[in-house]
Structure 1
Amino acid sequence: MERLLALWPRQIGNQCLLMLAAGALLGWLLPGQTHWLQPLATIFLQASQIVVMPFLICELIVGFGRLRPGSLRQLVGRGGLVLLALWLAASLLVIVLPLFLPPLVTSEFYHAGLFDVHKSDDLLTTYLPDSIFTALATDNFPAVVLFSCVLGILLQGLDDREHLLRPLAVMRSLFNRLNKLVVRLIPFGIFALIAINVSRINGEQLIRIQGFFAVCLISFLVLSLLCLLVLISLTPLRLRSLWQMIKGPLALTASSANLLIALPMLVSNLQEQLPAALGVDPDDPRVREMHEEITPLISLGFSLPTLGQVATLIFVPFSAWYVDRALEPLATLRMLLSAIPATVSGVKAVVRQELLNLGLPIDLLQLVYVNGEWLYRFEKVLGLEGLAVLAVLVVAQGVGAWRPRLPRLLASLGLATALTLGLGLASRSALAAALRESYRNDARLLALSSTRSGETPRVASRPWPAAPVTLQAIRARGVLRAGVQDDALPWAFRNARGDLVGFDVDLLKSMARSLGVRLELLQLPLEQLEQQLGEGRLDVVAGGIQNTPERAIRHELSRSYQTVNLALVVPDAKVRELQGGERSAPSRPISLAVEDESLISYGLEAQIAKSLGDARQRARVKLVPIGSSAEFFTAEGQRRYDGLLTPAESGAGLAVLHPSTTLITPFGREFSSELVLMVGGRDAAFRRYLNGWLTREISLGRIQELFDYWILLKGGAAARSR
């Protein structure tokens, strides 16, 4: 035991690095055994979060309150220049790196995030909330920092400020001691966090978005190298000294994806080690003064857009590339000018707003969730590096340790440029080879097969003769005659093997099994199916049939079994015009193709015109019936129609099969509809049986199983035995 304890590093930074490696190894080798570490990770995160805010409030009030007159202006001036330089460096990479991405064709499956409601973020309420206690409760760091800074600045004008500063200084010391207790947990918290997160890595997801991973990795390497080279070019700081100061906070930030809880450690390390690293006398009055200014400086830098937040905006031009609509450099620059100030409200909120502004599909936001585990670490670690650069450069200038070496600085900039070009060209070549013919979502969709066990239903080649449609007659002949409409993905369609499959096909198989009869199918256009149903040649009709008043007049309808939401499938080039969001109404008439003619009504046209319009005027919309969705996807259909009005649950699959189009949801969930079965005959017993059976299927979760498999393309194993 003593030998093992002797191997334990003395320095907290080395302890963090050791446990980081150990946690990564455990998560990689034993991913199923990391769940028992979750309580430790939770305790660590909660303890860190509790300590941080009180510690920083006291630090800021005391730090600003004890600043000498005029020093605040100098601090903000020097720090502002450094922040602008950091933002400029990250912005240049956001503009340049996406230019190295090769062409890509893709389209994504249906997901619930398509209907996320966007709430506009107000920077004014971010910095000025209703109450400071609300800001504390919601971890609104910018508001807390601003409030604390204002209190500290106001204290400077009070003659008896020491009466308040002395007890606050005692509280600061108390919270500092409490923070040191939490610091002892950091290596073990890192171990738990990194083990849990490594165990969750999805290799398939990493392959799918390797382009984003590549540009982020290059951005991280170049910015990290640039930060390092700038520091050693402008100050006497050595690499070893810098590493000693940031390795602990770096490991904590990388493992937790939380920069806030690493700030106390970063501040403490800089206060204790930076004077010696810069080679200045710790008893120099300027050094003691800068010691007090480090906390306000770091806190202000954190409350403003960080280096990591600006660099993360590379997701927006990546998203445009992902849907084959690459942004011009000037468009990316305009995006940065509006997005950088808003990054303090969070990456997801800013990305969503910029996707809307640029007319890019909102469903691209799901990539933020897919990449969240490493994307937030990328942002936070770069943010930490930027704060370290900010503190070192401002302190070095303030204590007279400014040692600019122009040749070394120019060489550093040249090296960073060469590294960007080299890695960019290499990644473009590698990605082009890896992504060649890599689009597989269409094949994945067409590879789906029935989730229901039992006999494969026979598909009739011609209509059946007319026969009574009653519950007794169906059971007597032993056959359920079901019609499914053509071109009804994902409700009824031909898969890659030529089998007739789909959500409604599986539903009909289960229904026939419940009736104790054999299922036979007839696939025809919807208009012909309705005719056959009226003539008594079919018992039921399915295939994504929506409940409409006109249809209810012509036929008996079952109860609803699935809610769908109308959306648009549009060519990629027309997404911006029809996406919705904060932009003006289309200036020309919009022609929308509609496969189900019974949906067309003046009321629906008016509602769509309102949704696609703006506050001043409605859009001019024309709904045009077409024979099938295939007509829309022809060259002539793409020229004639601006979009296809269809349920989002169907449209996502159509866009996957035609990746040059995109599913958009400008109406949200405003235009919902219900899927039903059309029932032949007038037998009340048959209708009651169908409705009772559908109610039971819904209550048992079997309809949800079908939705998960055929719409979301997940699961299926649980449903195969039914």
Structure 2
Amino acid sequence: MTKLSRLISKIPLSLRILLAMMIGLTLGAQSSTVYIGVNELANAFVMLLQMTALPYIALSLIVGIGSLSPTKVTNTLKITLVILMALLTVVLGFILLAPIAFPNWVSADFYSLNTISTTPEFDIISLFIPTNPFYALANGLIPSVVMFSIFIGIGLMQVKTKKSTLSVLNGLNKAVVNVSNMVMRFAPVGIFCIAQRAAATINSEQLDGLQVYIVTAAVLVFLLTFIVLPAIVATITPFSYRQILVSSRQAMITAFATGSFFIVIPIIVEKTKQLIEQLSTAENGNKLIKADASNMPSIIVPISFSLPVGGKLLALLFTLFAAWFSGSQVSSSDYLQLLVAGIPQLFGTTTLAIPSLLDIFNVPGSLFDLFLVAENIIVGRFSALLSVIFSVSLVLLIATSMLKKFTFKWRSFSVYLTILPIISIIAFISLRFTFDAISYQYQGYSKFIERDFILLDVKAKVLPEPELNVDKTMLNVPVLQRIAQRGFIRVGYFRDDLPYTFHNNEGKLVGFDIEIINLLADDLGVSIEFVRIYHNQAKQLLSSGYLDMTTGMPVTPHNMKQYTLTVPYSSQSMAFLVKEERRKEFSDWQSIFSREDLIIGIPEIFYSENIVRRYFEKNTVWEISTPRLFFKEEYENIDAMLFGAATASAWTLINPEYTVIVPKPARPELSMAFAINTDDNAFEIYLRNWIFMMKQNNSIDQLFHYWIAGKKPTTFLDISKQAIRKETLHD
């Protein structure tokens, strides 16, 4: 062994892991490149930890519960529930206190598929009761595995000749622990790779709008993990503050680095067992009680993974953040509803729970995207960190209670009682002042209006209105022939048709439909002449042959009667655009249809008289020429505007005080199609096949994600994030 390796071996493993993580983060942040082999090593380390975690959970629960004395189970269960509820109350109190840090910022975002998604029904029975335990084990269904193991443990607890069975299972459990310890020897290397990869691949733009949540969550977790929960345990048990953190640090560092509480369960169990055994050997007493207390980590820690405790509760903080971010009003009764309806949802994964939690405050489903981003970037790591200290605190308190070793330290209690509330309130208020002091500028509009083409920018001419002096000899020529002869395709576009057609900050005509037509023109080998038209002009200009086609319009009965429409190239759900504070009024279709006091505006391109007559017979419905009127003072008596969710989302970027709400239950989406020249079958067939081709090669999907959803372009045609440009003519 070299001198360097001997020196390294003297450094505690937890410190080596911490140093490796810091070095990895530093190198990753500086290089922004994942080194060769790092990704593979990081994945291998996580998979090795996962390999032992699930068998350990099952064996620990079976051995731990099976070795308990049946006469003591009821009393132990009562103690556990009391302590669990006490710790849960502390954590929830801090979470409900945290929103005082949220500043008064304006926000809005692009359209998201989660805006229109329906919340899957939460089935706690299927989640916890395994019809096939082997399937649950093979597929990592942890709540089902936990429940199965608990029942096996209870069954084994009542077997009189269980000693030999427990001995075998305990031997297997120790073997799993040995394997886990072997894996942890490579933890510095694994954690270095994970940290380097995370720092190198983080996208700073994803943090936009999430700073408040991430920083607040960080402060909250820091307070609970390093101050509040250890202080509570140190105040009423023989364990010192230092002992608690030292026994937890290896698990906390690994959990934070990997973002997983699950894979450090074996570490937590073994470390807390060591602490409890030190406590139980200090005095003579009932050996059976000591054995039961020592078994508590094997039972409580795996079970806590499936309970709505620890880091899972940060989902409630995100719900409060999302309500603030979207401008929803949150009252004290909403807090109660959040706890009563939200906590049971957290028996499953937070990813499944969040859509339902957002529904509680009628928060846009699109904010679920922000949750996923935050979880992947850093908050998932905070969650794992909090789960570690919560489970450690829970186990130590339960074991201390069973051993009757509670020792209330009045001096420590008086200090903590004075300092902790003050520190916590000061921390959150300081955050609020810090956020308010930040020169925050709403960027939704600028991100939208600065957009430009990503796939193709062809030569185009833009006319503010139709020209009267056109070559009339071309009007009766078939469209494809006419386009080829004149050298350009003439397309009518509608005003105020965001995000399908609009002028960007440079005055250039852009948008989802415009770039699709760019691709069409390029395939036809011609340029484009865009003509700004009103909706009521389209029919005559198409039938006369002046226009070859228009940009997209909804496929409604009215539009189908008026125009020849292509096959749909896209679709959007119907949604209401309303003031933030009126969100709850438009959450349900049935309640909307039944109200006689509502005045609903529908832009003319979406208006269909028979649909209005069929569904809105009790409402007052106004057909308006442009969505822009809805935001003017003279139209303030209109309660809501009904049109496509994608279009509505774009208008919120310009008017962030408004929000998009898709009422429940979800209704079929409205197709979008191009209106084309009447009675030209050849052109219709051409466009039918062309649209099908564009869908097949994902061109339309790529443009949808960029123009509608606001995502960064990631196509192979756009590796450098620059458009393929041709000569452009602007008039």
Q: Same fold (TM over 0.5)?
A: yes
Secondary structure of residue in 1 paired with 2:9: coil
For structure 2, the 5+ residue unaligned runs are 727-731
The total of aligned residue pairs comes to 708
Could you say which residue in structure 2 is the equivalent of 1:594? 602
Secondary structure of residue in 2 paired with 1:402: coil
Contact 1:460–1:520 (Cα < 8 Å) also in 2: no
Partner AA of 1:5 in structure 2:
S
Could you say which residue in structure 2 is the equivalent of 1:671? 668
Could you say which residue in structure 1 is the equivalent of 2:416? 412
Q: CA offset at residue 383 of structure 1?
A: 1.0
Q: CA offset at residue 553 of structure 1?
A: 4.1
Matching of residue 662 in structure 1 with residue 659 in structure 2:
yes
Secondary structure of residue in 2 paired with 1:483: strand
Find the partner of 2:705 among 685, 700, 708.
708
Matching of residue 172 in structure 1 with residue 173 in structure 2:
yes
Question: How far, CA to CA, are the matches of 1:277 and 1:69 in structure 2?
Answer: 23
Contact 1:564–1:675 (Cα < 8 Å) also in 2: yes
Could you say which residue in structure 2 is the equivalent of 1:193? 194
Question: How far, CA to CA, are the matches of 1:8 and 1:449 in structure 2?
Answer: 54
Contact 1:13–1:244 (Cα < 8 Å) also in 2: no
Distance verdict in 2 for CA 1:5–1:598, change over 3 Å: closer
Question: How far, CA to CA, are the matches of 2:650 and 2:171 in structure 1?
Answer: 63
Q: CA offset at residue 106 of structure 1?
A: 0.9
Distance verdict in 2 for CA 1:709–1:179, change over 3 Å: closer
Could you say which residue in structure 2 is the equivalent of 1:430? 434
Secondary structure of residue in 2 paired with 1:504: helix
Distance verdict in 2 for CA 1:394–1:648, change over 3 Å: same
Contact 2:100–2:432 (Cα < 8 Å) also in 1: no
Could you say which residue in structure 1 is the equivalent of 2:643? 646
Could you say which residue in structure 2 is the equivalent of 1:369? 372
Could you say which residue in structure 1 is the equivalent of 2:238? 236
Farther-moved stretch of structure 1 (340-349 vs 178-187): 178-187
Partner AA of 1:124 in structure 2:
I
Partner AA of 1:413 in structure 2:
L
Could you say which residue in structure 1 is the equivalent of 2:162? 161
Secondary structure of residue in 1 paired with 2:529: strand
Secondary structure of residue in 2 paired with 1:371: helix
Could you say which residue in structure 1 is the equivalent of 2:268? 266
Distance verdict in 2 for CA 1:131–1:635, change over 3 Å: farther
Question: How far, CA to CA, are the matches of 2:257 and 2:138 in structure 1?
Answer: 24
Farther-moved stretch of structure 1 (254-263 vs 146-155): 146-155
Question: How far, CA to CA, are the matches of 2:419 and 2:81 in structure 1?
Answer: 25
Q: CA offset at residue 98 of structure 1?
A: 0.7
Distance verdict in 2 for CA 1:599–1:36, change over 3 Å: farther
Contact 1:250–1:384 (Cα < 8 Å) also in 2: yes
Could you say which residue in structure 2 is the equivalent of 1:616? none
* Equivalent residue runs for 1:480-519 within 5 Å: 480-519=489-528
Q: CA offset at residue 282 of structure 1?
A: 8.7
Q: CA offset at residue 479 of structure 1?
A: 4.3
Flag as ranges the 4+ runs of structure 1 deviating above 6 A: 583-586
Could you say which residue in structure 2 is the equivalent of 1:613? none
Distance verdict in 2 for CA 1:449–1:48, change over 3 Å: closer
Distance verdict in 2 for CA 1:488–1:248, change over 3 Å: same
Question: How far, CA to CA, are the matches of 2:354 and 2:200 in structure 1?
Answer: 27
Farther-moved stretch of structure 1 (701-710 vs 244-253): 701-710
Q: CA offset at residue 216 of structure 1?
A: 0.9
Could you say which residue in structure 1 is the equivalent of 2:531? 522
Q: CA offset at residue 226 of structure 1?
A: 0.6
Q: CA offset at residue 26 of structure 1?
A: 3.0
Q: CA offset at residue 252 of structure 1?
A: 1.3
Partner AA of 2:236 in structure 1:
L
Matching of residue 630 in structure 1 with residue 621 in structure 2:
no
Contact 2:28–2:200 (Cα < 8 Å) also in 1: yes
* Identity within the alignment, %: 22
Distance verdict in 2 for CA 1:638–1:128, change over 3 Å: farther
Distance verdict in 2 for CA 1:45–1:537, change over 3 Å: same
Question: How far, CA to CA, are the matches of 2:408 and 2:264 in structure 1?
Answer: 30
Could you say which residue in structure 2 is the equivalent of 1:720? 724
Contact 1:453–1:720 (Cα < 8 Å) also in 2: yes
Question: How far, CA to CA, are the matches of 1:364 and 1:35 in structure 2?
Answer: 35
Task: Output one character per residue of 1:632-687: Cα deviation in whole Å (capped at 9) or x when no partner.
Answer: 22345443233x22222222211211111222333687433333332235444444
Question: How far, CA to CA, are the matches of 2:115 and 2:51 in structure 1?
Answer: 35
Secondary structure of residue in 2 paired with 1:193: helix
Matching of residue 531 in structure 1 with residue 529 in structure 2:
no
Partner AA of 1:488 in structure 2:
D
Matching of residue 347 in structure 1 with residue 354 in structure 2:
no
Farther-moved stretch of structure 1 (27-36 vs 647-656): 27-36
Q: CA offset at residue 585 of structure 1?
A: 6.9
Partner AA of 1:178 in structure 2:
V
Matching of residue 305 in structure 1 with residue 313 in structure 2:
no
Partner AA of 1:491 in structure 2:
Y
Q: CA offset at residue 503 of structure 1?
A: 2.3
Contact 1:557–1:678 (Cα < 8 Å) also in 2: yes
Distance verdict in 2 for CA 1:367–1:692, change over 3 Å: closer
Question: How far, CA to CA, are the matches of 1:695 and 1:292 in structure 2?
Answer: 63
Could you say which residue in structure 2 is the equivalent of 1:4? 4
Secondary structure of residue in 1 paired with 2:724: coil
Q: CA offset at residue 720 of structure 1?
A: 2.9
Could you say which residue in structure 2 is the equivalent of 1:615? none
Q: CA offset at residue 277 of structure 1?
A: 6.8
For structure 1, the 5+ residue unaligned runs are 610-618
Secondary structure of residue in 2 paired with 1:361: coil
Question: How far, CA to CA, are the matches of 1:283 and 1:14 in structure 2?
Answer: 37
* Equivalent residue runs for 1:51-450 within 5 Å: 51-224=52-225, 225-276=227-278, 280-281=282-283, 285=287, 286-373=289-376, 374-434=378-438, 436=440, 438-450=441-453
Distance verdict in 2 for CA 1:119–1:129, change over 3 Å: farther
Secondary structure of residue in 2 paired with 1:74: helix
Contact 2:578–2:661 (Cα < 8 Å) also in 1: yes
Q: CA offset at residue 442 of structure 1?
A: 0.8
**TM-score, structure 2 normalization:** 0.89
Q: CA offset at residue 454 of structure 1?
A: 4.2
Task: Output one character per residue of 1:124-147: Cα deviation in whole Å (capped at 9) or x when no partner.
Answer: 332223232233233333332233
Contact 2:21–2:192 (Cα < 8 Å) also in 1: yes
Task: Output one character per residue of 1:493-518: Cα deviation in whole Å (capped at 9) or x when no partner.
Answer: 22223333222233334444444544
Farther-moved stretch of structure 1 (590-599 vs 61-70): 590-599
Secondary structure of residue in 2 paired with 1:32: coil
Secondary structure of residue in 2 paired with 1:208: coil
Contact 1:491–1:503 (Cα < 8 Å) also in 2: yes
Could you say which residue in structure 1 is the equivalent of 2:729? none
Secondary structure of residue in 2 paired with 1:521: strand
Question: How far, CA to CA, are the matches of 1:705 and 1:66 in structure 2?
Answer: 59
Partner AA of 1:640 in structure 2:
I
* Cα RMSD after superposing both structures: 2.9
Contact 2:489–2:528 (Cα < 8 Å) also in 1: yes
Q: CA offset at residue 250 of structure 1?
A: 0.9
Contact 1:479–1:519 (Cα < 8 Å) also in 2: yes
Q: CA offset at residue 489 of structure 1?
A: 1.0
Contact 1:96–1:329 (Cα < 8 Å) also in 2: no
Partner AA of 1:292 in structure 2:
N
Question: How far, CA to CA, are the matches of 1:102 and 1:161 in structure 2?
Answer: 60
Secondary structure of residue in 1 paired with 2:452: coil
Partner AA of 1:49 in structure 2:
Q
Secondary structure of residue in 1 paired with 2:539: helix
Q: CA offset at residue 262 of structure 1?
A: 0.5
Partner AA of 1:186 in structure 2:
A
Q: CA offset at residue 421 of structure 1?
A: 1.7
Task: Output one character per residue of 1:146-168: Cα deviation in whole Å (capped at 9) or x when no partner.
Answer: 33223323333332222432332
Partner AA of 1:431 in structure 2:
F
Q: CA offset at residue 694 of structure 1?
A: 4.2
Task: Output one character per residue of 1:258-294: Cα deviation in whole Å (capped at 9) or x when no partner.
Answer: 1111111111112224443788259973544422233
Q: CA offset at residue 231 of structure 1?
A: 2.3
Distance verdict in 2 for CA 1:276–1:690, change over 3 Å: closer
Could you say which residue in structure 2 is the equivalent of 1:570? 578
Contact 2:488–2:526 (Cα < 8 Å) also in 1: yes
Partner AA of 1:712 in structure 2:
A
Q: CA offset at residue 368 of structure 1?
A: 0.7
